[in-house]
Amino acid sequence: MTTLVRLSRTSWPPRTIIRRAGGLRTMESALVRSGLGPVAGVDEAGRGACAGPLVVAACILGDRARAALDSIDDSKKLSEPVREALFPRVIRWATAYSIVTVPSAEIDRIGIHVANIEGMRRAVAGLSVDPGYVLTDGFRVPGLPVPSLPVIGGDATAACIAAASVLAKVHRDRIMRRLDAELPGYGFAVHKGYNTTAHTDALGRLGPCDHHRRSWANVACLENAGAGDTAGRVRPTAADAG
């Protein structure tokens, strides 16, 4: 015999109330009030570049970070000096953070989307505090050990994603500045490996270096075109710096 249970309005799980005043903390606060904290945000930098690594960061922000990081925002909306100033503050006030670097050779081997997903998994796994929920910027990440939600434009929506965005962007920019010192002539410190006119011109003169992504069409095209003309290519030297 089947017993029918009549449900009343009070039988449903409590509804989470989103408060407008929360700003970038609204989504995280709602999840925490629902017992799903701590909340980790995950974001990447360098996905669209044709040179340099992909950098992925994960970050958990506790209540103590609310006032200390009140100026946090999507890293793309912040100037480089502001991002650099925020970087140590995020590290200081974050409950936990993790930064993962995926080199160009691995990107070529497994593809940028797989590298992005794998980098996000590694970043979450590297957190010193286990999150109860994960918010990712734009991409669904299967295989995480806790519930997760992809958030379109997440670095402008959730503070923990914005903090991860700053960590990833600043860390990657520093890597590209170091590569610029090691491989002068490409202008990595300026364009950070993205497809600017100056970068394309440098690729035409110098050819791809070990940090260029061979799976990118523009790099592969130049490399193939120059395969029989290596004698005419000018390799960067220290004299080209600056």
Residue 164 lies in a domain: yes
Q: Report which of 163, 162, 137 is spatially closest to residue 148, judged by C-alpha positions.
A: 137
Q: How far is CA 56 from CA 83, 101, 137, 175, 203, in A?
A: 16, 6, 11, 13, 26
Residue 236 lies in a domain: no
Share of the chain above pLDDT 90, in %: 62
What is the model's pLDDT at position 66? 62
Clarify whether residues 142 and 207 are in a common domain.
no
Share of the chain above pLDDT 70, in %: 77
Residue 231 has pLDDT above 80, yes or no: no
What six digits make up the tokens of 138?
A: 């734009």
Residue 79 has pLDDT above 60, yes or no: yes
What is the model's pLDDT at position 27? 82
What is the model's pLDDT at position 4? 46
Phi, psi of 98 (to 5 degrees): -150, 135
Clarify whether residues 226 and 136 are in a common domain.
no
Number of neighbours of residue 138 by Cβ within 10 angstroms: 15
CB 123 within 8 A of CB 12: no
Q: Averaged over 11-40, what is the pLDDT? A: 65
Expressed as residue numbers, the domain containing 192 is 184-230
Residue 122 lies in a domain: yes
Clarify whether residues 165 and 194 are in a common domain.
no
The residues that bridge with 54 in the sheet, in sequence order, are: 102
Q: How far is CA 242 from CA 136, 177, 183, 186, 238, in A?
A: 38, 12, 11, 10, 9
Clarify whether residues 43 and 66 are in a common domain.
yes
Annotated binding site: 43-44, 137
Residue 128 lies in a domain: yes
Annotated binding site for a divalent metal cation: 43-44, 137
Q: Averaged over 126-145, what is the pLDDT? A: 94
The pTM of the full predicted model, rounded to 2 decimals, is: 0.81
Q: How far is CA 104 from CA 14, 50, 56, 193, 214, in A?
A: 47, 9, 13, 11, 8
Clarify whether residues 126 and 58 are in a common domain.
yes
Q: Report which of 190, 139, 196, 169 is spatially closest to residue 45, judged by C-alpha positions.
A: 169
CB 26 within 8 A of CB 43: no
Residues 6+ apart with CB under 8 A from 22: 29, 30
Clarify whether residues 223 and 134 are in a common domain.
no
Clarify whether residues 191 and 92 are in a common domain.
no
What is the model's pLDDT at position 5? 41
Q: 93: domain CATH number? A: 3.30.420.10
10-19, 47-56, 148-157, range with greatest mean pLDDT:
47-56
What is the model's pLDDT at position 65? 73
Weakest mean pLDDT among 67-76, 110-119, 192-201 = 67-76
Residue 214 lies in a domain: yes
What six digits make up the tokens of 122?
A: 């590694």
Residue 26 has pLDDT above 60, yes or no: yes
CB 36 within 8 A of CB 179: no
Please state the domain count of the chain: 2
Clarify whether residues 70 and 145 are in a common domain.
yes
Clarify whether residues 149 and 102 are in a common domain.
yes
Clarify whether residues 190 and 164 are in a common domain.
no
Residue 15 has pLDDT above 80, yes or no: no
Residue 28 lies in a domain: yes
What is the model's pLDDT at position 51? 97
CB 117 within 8 A of CB 123: no
Q: What is the pLDDT of residues 143-193, one digit of tens each?
A: 999 999 999 887 678 889 999 999 999 999 999 999 999 999 999 999 999
41: left (phi over 0), alpha (psi -120 to 50) or beta: beta
Clarify whether residues 221 and 106 are in a common domain.
no
Mean pLDDT of the chain: 83
